Chain A
Amino acid sequence: MLKYLNSLTAITLATMAIATAADAGPFGLGRAATSDEVAAWNLDVRPDGSGLPVGAGNVEDGDVLFADNCASCHGDFAEGRGNWPKLAGGVDTLDHDDPLKTVGSYWPYLSTTWDYVNRSMPFGNAQSLSADEVYAVVAYILYSNDMVEDDFILSNETFLDVEMRNADGFIIDDRAETEYAQFSAAPCMENCKAEVEITMRALVLDVTPEEEDAEAAAQEQSAPVSKTKAEAPAAAAPVVVPVQESALDPGLVAEGAKVFKKCKACHQVGEGAKNKTGPLLNGIAGRAVGTIEGFRYSKSFQELSAEGAVWDDAALAAFLAKPKAYAPKTKMSFAGLKKDSDIAAMIAYLKSVSP
Chain B
Amino acid sequence: MTVSFKGKSPSRRAFLKGAATAAGALATAGAARAAGDPLITEVQPWASGFGDGVDETPYGLPIKFESDVVRRNVEWLTADTISSINFTPIHALDGTITPQGCAFERHHSGAIELAKEDYRLMINGLVDRELIFTYADLERFPRVNQVNFLECAANTGMEWAGAQLNGAQFTHGMIHNMEYSGVSLRTILEEAGLTKAGDLKDKWIYVEGADASSNGRSIPMEKALDDCILAFKANGEALRKEHGYPVRLVVPGWEGNMWIKWIRRIEVTDAPVESREETSKYTDTLADGTSRKWTWVMDAKSVVTSPSPQSPITHGKGPLVITGLAWSGNGAIKRVDVSRDGGKTWAEARLAAPGQKMALTRFYLDIDWDGSEMLLQSRAMDETGYVQPTKTQLRAVRGLNSIYHNNCIQTWWVKESGEAENVEVS
Contacts and interface: CB of A to CB of B under 8 A. Distances in A.
A187 B379 contact: yes
A46 B212 contact: no
A7 B212 contact: no
A191 B343 CA distance: 9
B13 A213 contact: yes
B242 interface: no
Given A38-B122, A99-B285, A30 B10 contact: no
B275 A26 contact: no
B8 interface: yes
A209 B7 contact: yes
Contact of A97 (B141, B212, B401): B401
B117 A32 contact: no
Given A44-B275, A213-B17, A205 B3 contact: yes
Nearest to B348: A189
B64 A218 contact: yes
Given A112-B279, A120-B276, A196-B375, A208 B397 contact: no
Interface string A97-124: 1110101001111011001100110011
A99 B285 CA distance: 9
Contacts of A243: none
Contacts of A47: 271, 274
Interface in B154-191: 161-167, 170, 187, 190-191
A3 to B, nearest CB: 9
B344 A126 contact: no
Interface stretch (A151-159, A166-174, A295-303): A166-174
Given A31-B131, A42-B265, A185-B387, A202 B164 contact: yes
A192 B136 contact: no
B201 interface: no
B37 to A, nearest CB: 21
A38 B208 contact: no
B214 A210 contact: no
Contact of A203 (B131, B161, B421): B421
A197 interface: yes
Nearest to B87: A209
Interface stretch (A175-183, A233-241, A311-319): A175-183
Nearest to B389: A183
Interface stretch (B26-34, B42-50, B286-294, B360-368): B286-294
A175 B8 contact: no
A198 B424 contact: yes
B271 to A, nearest CB: 6
B216 interface: yes
Given A44-B267, A211-B13, A212-B68, A172 B343 contact: no
Given A126-B213, A169-B289, A187-B346, A175 B9 contact: no
B284 to A, nearest CB: 8
Contact of A202 (B208, B290, B421): B421
B296 A109 contact: no
A206 interface: yes
B289 to A, nearest CB: 3
Contacts of A94: 285, 289-291
A208 B345 contact: no
B201 to A, nearest CB: 15
Given A183-B386, A209-B74, A217-B64, A191 B344 contact: yes
Nearest to A125: B212
Contact of A211 (B68, B75, B131, B140): B68
A265 B213 CA distance: 15
B322 interface: no
Interface in B352-389: 375, 379, 381, 384-389
Contacts of B425: 196-199
A169 B290 CA distance: 5
8 contacts: A31-B132, A99-B285, A103-B280, A107-B279, A120-B108, A194-B344, A206-B166, A214-B69
Interface of A: 6-7, 10, 13-14, 21, 23-27, 29-33, 37-38, 41-47, 73, 82-84, 94-95, 97-99, 101, 103, 106-109, 111-112, 115-116, 119-120, 123-124, 126-127, 169-175, 178-180, 182-185, 187-203, 205-215, 217-218, 221-222, 264-266
Interface of B: 1-3, 5-10, 13-14, 17, 64-69, 72-76, 78-83, 108-109, 117, 122-125, 128-134, 136-137, 140-141, 161-167, 170, 187, 190-193, 206, 208, 212-216, 264-265, 267, 271, 273-276, 279-280, 283, 285, 287-297, 299, 309-310, 337, 341-347, 375, 379, 381, 384-389, 393, 397, 400-401, 413, 421-426
